[in-house]
């Protein structure tokens, strides 16, 4: 018997989450962001759930090839654009649209030999200071691109640093609007947080770019939960109890004896550890579902195992199902965002960190 741990990808949740994005952006086209191997889910696994999107956006050229290999003929956007001149040949061959965020990429385009002009998304650095031309230099970049025979339509794009939080997007919206005024072309502004929280940015977007929301995680947890937004988890990580222990008061659990029982208690040992992608930093008390009922972890997470409290589920024992995040068979949901918060991180990192050794099943 294989080790009893399994990740399940829920295709119907993708359709639900895509519908949530469409409800918030009824007039926009939707890029489904599938970078980082579809946020750790696997591009091939999620494709059927997301094929209702208008395009797929990612940044790895091999991943773009994989989307084409799945038979997708619609738009594909490279979010970081070309890394060298050869990438532009692949863009021509596979009809990939690509971001242009710096002068070196315009130089590459100017040097690219092609009869078929390419669709580009010109990126503005409106305040995030990661990729893009500053507002002052944006128009000059557009003019230079527009003069190139290698370039077809130019779309305008920017990315928000604070769509999920208190600072918000107003300053970046203003910078973008001022510097792009009267430039023609489609606009793409909104990531998940902006799509759900900022209708003003959605109104300016011909294309929205939701990533994390497609995967059923709230972009602004804990201000909102995934359930608040109507999002459903797309990944469940579950394992079984492979041993139980009866503790006396004063007994300790796991490496470093970080947990001490203050009374007699029964614990289960679960076939999931940090080598599966469950964060070692999660402290005692991190929520889990045991046979669908809420309980908590006990002691330190080790490489291949972790311990859980069986007190809330007296009937549980050897072979019981433990949901580390996602949906239990009984229907209860443990949001990945709650676990991520215990790990001092975000749902994105947990999804992306699912270990290769965990078997994955796709459910309708
Ligand atoms: C990753 C990414 C997104 C999606 O962000 P989420 O927070 O996952 O919605 C959108 N746009 C760009 C440029 C990105 O790199």
Ligand 1 contacts (CB < 6 A) are: 33, 35, 79, 159, 191-192, 209-212, 219
Catalytic residues: 35, 255
Helix axes 135-146, 170-180, angle to 10 degrees: 40
Mean pLDDT, residues 135-148: 98
As a whole number of angstroms, the distance between CA 9 and CA 305 comes to 22
Among 209, 213, 231, 351, residue to substitute to test ligand 1 (most atoms within 8 Å of Cβ): 209
**Per-residue pLDDT reduced to its tens digit, 266-302:** 999 999 999 999 999 999 999 999 999 999 999 999 9
The torsion region of residue 305 among left (phi > 0), alpha (psi -120 to 50) and beta comes to: beta
The predicted structure's pLDDT at residue 277:
98
- For residue 123, list its beta bridge partners: 157
Q: Which CATH class for the 11-215 domain?
A: alpha beta
Q: What's the pLDDT band for 1 if we cut at 50, 70, 90? A: confident
Mean pLDDT, residues 178-182: 97
Q: Which atom of ligand 1 is nearest to the CA of 195?
A: 9
Q: For residues 85 and 64, is the Cβ–Cβ distance under 8 A?
A: no
Residues across the chain? 364
Answer whether 11-215 and 235-363 agree in fold: no
Q: What's the pLDDT band for 344 if we cut at 50, 70, 90? A: very high
Give the three-state DSSP class for 84. coil
Mean pLDDT, residues 161-180: 98
Please tell me the residue having the least CA distance from ligand 1 atom 4: 211
C-alpha distances (whole Å) from 171 to each of 128, 163, 176, 240, 267 are 11, 11, 9, 49, 52
The predicted structure's pLDDT at residue 7:
98
As a whole number of angstroms, the distance between CA 134 and CA 358 comes to 43
CATH number of 235-363: 2.40.37.10
Mean pLDDT, residues 137-156: 98
Nearest alpha-carbon partner for 325 in 300, 363, 297, 356: 297
Ligand 1 centroid from CA 78, angstroms: 12
Q: Which atom of ligand 1 is nearest to the CA of 157?
A: 13
* pLDDT above 70 as % of the chain: 100
The predicted structure's pLDDT at residue 149:
97
The predicted structure's pLDDT at residue 103:
98
Q: Which atom of ligand 1 is nearest to the CA of 209?
A: 10
**Per-residue pLDDT reduced to its tens digit, 47-106:** 999 999 999 999 999 999 999 999 999 999 999 999 999 999 999 999 999 999 999 999
Domain boundaries, the chain: 11-215, 235-363
Nearest alpha-carbon partner for 122 in 77, 86, 92: 77
Among 57, 155, 162, residue to substitute to test ligand 1 (most atoms within 8 Å of Cβ): 57
The predicted structure's pLDDT at residue 337:
98
Q: Which atom of ligand 1 is nearest to the CA of 210?
A: 9
Ligand 1 centroid from CA 81, angstroms: 14
Q: For residues 35 and 79, is the Cβ–Cβ distance under 8 A?
A: yes
Please tell me the residue having the least CA distance from ligand 1 atom 15: 79
**Per-residue pLDDT reduced to its tens digit, 4-29:** 999 999 999 999 999 999 999 999 99
Ligand 1 centroid from CA 259, angstroms: 39
């Amino acid at each position: 018997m294989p080790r009893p741990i399994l990740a399940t990808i829920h295709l119907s949740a993708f359709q639900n989450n895509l519908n949530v994005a469409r409800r918030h952006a009824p007039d926009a086209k939707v890029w489904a962001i599938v970078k980082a191997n579809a946020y750790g889910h696997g591009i091939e696994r999620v494709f059927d759930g997301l094929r209702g999107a208008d395009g797929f956006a990612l940044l790895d050229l091999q991943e773009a090839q994989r989307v084409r290999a799945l038979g997708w003929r619609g738009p594909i956007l490279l979010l970081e654009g070309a890394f060298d001149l050869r990438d532009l040949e692949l863009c021509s061959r596979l009809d990939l649209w690509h971001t242009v965020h710096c002068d070196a990429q315009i130089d590459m385009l100017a040097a690219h030999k092609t009869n078929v002009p390419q669709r580009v998304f010109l990126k503005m650095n409106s305040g995030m200071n990661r990729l893009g031309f500053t507002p002052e230099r944006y128009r000059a970049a557009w003019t230079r691109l527009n003069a190139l025979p290698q370039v077809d339509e130019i779309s305008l794009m920017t990315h928000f640093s604070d769509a999920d939080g208190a600072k918000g997007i107003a300053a970046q919206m203003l910078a973008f609007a001022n510097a792009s005024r009267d430039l023609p072309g489609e606009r793409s502004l909104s990531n998940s947080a902006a799509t759900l929280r900022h209708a003003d940015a959605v109104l300016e977007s011909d294309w929205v770019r939701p990533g994390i929301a497609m995967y059923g995680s709230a972009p602004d947890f804990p201000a909102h939960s995934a359930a608040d937004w109507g999002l459903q988890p797309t990944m469940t990580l579950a394992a079984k109890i492979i041993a139980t222990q009866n503790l006396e008061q004063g007994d300790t659990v796991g490496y470093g004896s970080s947990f001490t029982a203050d009374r007699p208690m029964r614990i289960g040992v679960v076939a999931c550890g940090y080598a599966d992608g469950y964060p070692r930093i999660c402290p005692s008390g991190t929520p889990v579902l045991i046979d669908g009922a809420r309980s908590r972890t006990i002691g330190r997470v080790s490489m291949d195992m972790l311990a859980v409290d069986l007190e809330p589920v007296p009937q549980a024992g050897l072979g019981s199902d433990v949901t580390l995040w996602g949906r239990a068979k009984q229907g209860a949901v443990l949001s990945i965002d709650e676990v991520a918060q215990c790990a001092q991180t975000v749902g994105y990192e947990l999804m992306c960190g699912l270990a290769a050794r965990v078997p994955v099943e796709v459910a309708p």
